[in-house]
Chain A
Amino acid sequence: MLKIDNLVVAYGGIEALKGISMEVEEGKIITLVGANGAGKSTTLRAIMGLVKPVSGAITYKGSNLLAEKTQNMVRNGIALVPEGRRVFPNLTVLENLKIGAFCRNDEKNIKEDLEWVYHLFPRLKERTWQLAGTLSGGEQQMLAVGRALMSRPKLLMMDEPSLGLAPLVVKEIFNIIKEIHKQGVTILLIEQNANAALHIADIGYVMETGRISLKGTGHELLANQEVKEAYLGKKAK
């Protein structure tokens, strides 16, 4: 579905991605784990067209994604839950969700999807008319996920959706990710919480300072000694 080939991205001469290649297969959950500053967010930003790569290729369903403008990504079925939530604070919860469906005109299906999002996040339903800027951090995170879903994405990319959430809510978010996946949405997930992410992922990639250092199924990576030490906080015996 999505293929990244030898992608190099630099910020003012400093390479944040030093030639990464990865693949997102349709219908799978893919996760990208790695330390702070490894280049995970940069990867998603490059896919969305928010940063222009120095070299390399990104293809989506066989066509060159680098030629597309950011604003057309969502029409192609790619949605992003950005790092740091980035809900529109001056818009109500409902308006934020409607913005997620900005490119759609199928009012009837939009209504259905709204109900679906409210079913996933009953909290949002209670707060339909509240300004998003006044939501709690966790509620904003739910809104950011809900907003992305409102575009009916085929590929949903999430940048640390569990950041700053209470453990119970984290669990809830992961359950919701699984439920979204069951609806046929392909998922590319970035997580600090490598343990939880690798448990639900079909394929995981480990990133280290701009390079992919490991690739494997979720279970392989969970069992991998290096991964255990570096990302799962388990000491080797």
Chain B
Amino acid sequence: MSFDIFLQHLTNGISLGSLYALIAIGYTMVYGILRLINFAHGDIFMMATYFAFYGVITFGVPWYIVFPIVILLTASLGMTLEVAAYRPLRNAPKISIMISAIGASFLLENLAIVIFGGVNKAFPTPEVFTGVVQLGPVSLQKLTFYIPIITVIFLVALLYLINHTKTGMAMRAVSKDHETAGVMGIDVNKTISITFGIGSALAAIGALMWGLKFPQIYPLMGVMPGLKCFIAAVIGGIGNIKGAVLGGFILGVGEIMLVAFLPSDYTGYRDAFAFILLIVVLLFRPTGIMGEKISEKV
């Protein structure tokens, strides 16, 4: 295989990895603040693609108006989910909240089947996103090239928000100690709500680009990406945002390379790759690559 082709696969991998990273952040942020695995996150991702479909195809509104609205709608959906399914159980045993998360996931999936229908729909692909760019010896789908750039922009914005704003400081404080954060005058509920909003908005951004890249949408389309991105978050060290990004990229690049370099008989194992990697990483680093050891001074 020539170097050019390797580069081609690498960019594809980075592009897929960007999408995984965007979705994985939602898992890791929610886990960080509530110690909860939001099983419905993949379904929120799916919902975003349908919002876009109806906006552009059914209502015929231009994509550049629809996409920002989709992001806001999806953020509100995530926040509503938290208020309805998780907040009432805030002080309940962990297992109850987990069951509620699984229930919310099934609810969204079945709601989608009922409302949107089980048949695949074609995601709208505006012309600006189609076509090919030539980068030296590598020719790329425009989208493959845009996706990592857009992702990086949002990642930088997110890290700025978390590390350099008052809201971000509140989020970090709440993630360590709800009670003391409340004593400091932080509105804990609002902070958790914002966290769900941001995680869901990023999932929506990922979903829009996913739809452009793989323009077939269906009610269960969030299940596999959701699972893989959860794995990406765990591999990176759940609770750690940079870890989730790293995990997403490792998974995306690994998966593409596996398909590219293994004989075609084995490409069916594409989805198994994530799980194998998860097991290997956890064997050597139970807290994930960037996960912190749990130790506190008493």
Contact = CB atoms under 8 A, between A and B. Distances in A.
Contact of A91 (B166, B173, B187, B297): B173
A95 interface: yes
Nearest to B298: A84
B94 interface: no
Contacts of B298: 84
A44 B107 CA distance: 43
Interface stretch (A12-20, A96-104, A207-215): A96-104
Contact of A133 (B169, B170, B297): B297
Interface in B144-175: 166, 169-170, 172-173, 175
Interface stretch (A27-35, A55-63, A65-73, A220-228): A65-73
B271 interface: no
A71 B186 contact: yes
Contact of B183 (A80, A89, A137, A140): A80
B168 to A, nearest CB: 10
A70 B177 CA distance: 14
A72 B173 contact: no
Given A91-B173, A137-B297, A70 B166 contact: no
Contacts of B172: 88, 90-91, 95
Interface in B164-222: 166, 169-170, 172-173, 175-177, 179-188
Contact of B176 (A50, A80, A89, A98): A89
A46 to B, nearest CB: 13
Contacts of B166: 98, 102
A43 interface: no
Contact of A72 (B170, B177, B185): B185
B265 interface: no
Interface residues of A, number: 28
A110 to B, nearest CB: 12
Contacts of A89: 176, 296-297
A111 interface: no
Dominant secondary structure of chain B at its interface with chain A: helix
Contacts of B182: 50, 69-71
Contacts of A140: 297
A146 interface: no
B176 A88 contact: yes
A57 to B, nearest CB: 21
A195 to B, nearest CB: 25
A186 interface: no
Contacts of B170: 99, 102
A69 B185 CA distance: 9
Given A91-B169, A98-B166, A100-B184, 4 more contacts: A70-B179, A86-B179, A89-B297, A151-B184
Q: Nearest 5 pairs between A and B by C-beta?
A: A74-B185, A103-B185, A70-B182, A86-B180, A88-B173
Interface of A: 48, 50, 69-75, 80, 82, 84, 86, 88-91, 95, 98-100, 102-103, 133, 137, 140, 147, 151
25 contacts: A48-B183, A69-B182, A70-B182, A70-B183, A71-B182, A71-B187, A71-B188, A73-B185, A74-B183, A74-B185, A82-B180, A88-B177, A88-B180, A90-B175, A91-B169, A91-B172, A91-B173, A99-B169, A99-B186, A102-B166, A102-B184, A103-B185, A137-B297, A140-B297, A151-B185
